[in-house]
Amino acid sequence: MSSARPPAPGAAPQTLGELGEFALIAEITRGLPAVDEVLLGPGDDAAVLAVDGPVLTTVDVLVEGVHFRRDWSEPYDVGRKAIAVNVADIEAMGGRAVGVVVGFSAPADTPLRWALEFARGLRDEATTAGVALLGGDVTRARDITVSVTVIGVLDGRPPVRRDGARPGQLVAICGRLGWAAAGVAVLGRGFRSPRAVVEAQRVPQVPYGQGAVAAGAGASAMIDVSDGLLGDLGHVARASGVVIDVDSSRFAVPDPLQAVAAATGSDPLRLILTGGEDHALAATFDSDRTLPDGWQVIGTVRELPAGGDPVVLVDGATWEGETGFDHFGRRS
């Protein structure tokens, strides 16, 4: 960013170009909390962690205009969302996130306030999730783009994979479904209410800690619902070679979703079954298990018929229409 025009003498910088790369990094990393596994955080060429056993890692990229819009979300919300959607993947493996590395790209004329509020959101959600911000990289780009890599541990448990669903098991969820999709429907029409669904679209409420709880309670397969419940359960069905049957009567439709459906002429059940970005957890458990608090049974796992394909059914029938989101236009 050295080619950007510096601020006038005595004037405070107002954009990223005026502040500069290294000053921005210093602002973002100042006063960060740490966790026990982090021996060395930001400030050197790499962070240093001390962990026992296998390590989990995953990455998500948030792109302006795809995952967030500046006219819909405050920068603080984008920072929180960047952490939440990544930690949810570690939760879905039954793990515990310990550290995140963030890559931040933005135009040089991005207001400095935007970047600092984004960084505040990163820090606050990292604290809520119990994860340390280890460092990352800052560079110039045409659009604001955020890449977050999260590192997690299993605390002595085996990972909960997608391929562990077995016939006769129950399917259960923990967290909200359909709220973020309702928020998109509202915001897309230029409205800001119901406020609860708008806030759900801006920042998902990940059930932090529940992935490890489910693993301890015997979850055999698990996934976080990022692209729609039916679509994501489809990944579990295909990986496990089973049929999953979702019981629609198990879902109570919250008032905000009913209000959005009524206002937009849509089906609230479709929001719940196919809406993404809530990052609830879905898992399978043996039918004789006592589910942990906060988990709700929503269906069953059935044996794959001879010659049949792994599929997700709703009330025993094929779901008509889209089941989830695909970034390259193909609907699953």
Strand 132-140 to 96-106 pairing: parallel
Q: Is 325 annotated as a binding residue?
A: yes
At residue 129's C-alpha, the angle toward residues 276 and 48, to 5°, is 120
Q: Is 327 annotated as a binding residue?
A: no
Q: Is the peptide bond before 194 cis (omega within 30 degrees of 0)?
A: yes
Q: Is 37 annotated as a binding residue?
A: no
Helices (H), 54-104: 75-92
Q: Is 99 helix (H, G, I), strand (E, B) or coil?
A: strand
Q: Is 286 annotated as a binding residue?
A: no
Q: Is 71 annotated as a binding residue?
A: no
Q: Is 328 annotated as a binding residue?
A: no
CB 203 within 8 A of CB 84: yes
Q: Is 162 annotated as a binding residue?
A: yes
Q: Is 136 annotated as a binding residue?
A: yes
- Which amino acid type is present at position 269? L
Q: Is 89 annotated as a binding residue?
A: yes
- For 27, 55, 94, 225, 309, the CA distances from 49, given in Å and listed in that order, are 23, 11, 20, 29, 43
> For helices 179-187 and 255-264, what crossing angle results, to 10°?
40
Q: Is 157 annotated as a binding residue?
A: no
Query: 55: which strand partners?
Result: 153
Q: Is 60 annotated as a binding residue?
A: yes
Q: What residues have CB less than 8 Å from 237, skipping those under 6 apart?
A: 165, 243, 244, 310, 311, 312
CB 96 within 8 A of CB 216: no
Q: Is 44 annotated as a binding residue?
A: no
- Which amino acid type is present at position 2? S
Q: Is 137 annotated as a binding residue?
A: yes
- For the annotated binding site, the residues are 45, 58, 60, 67, 89, 136-137, 162, 224, 226-227, 277, 325
- For the annotated binding site for substrate, the residues are 67, 277, 325
- For the annotated binding site for ATP, the residues are 136-137, 162, 226
- For the annotated binding site for Mg(2+), the residues are 45, 58, 60, 89, 137, 224, 227
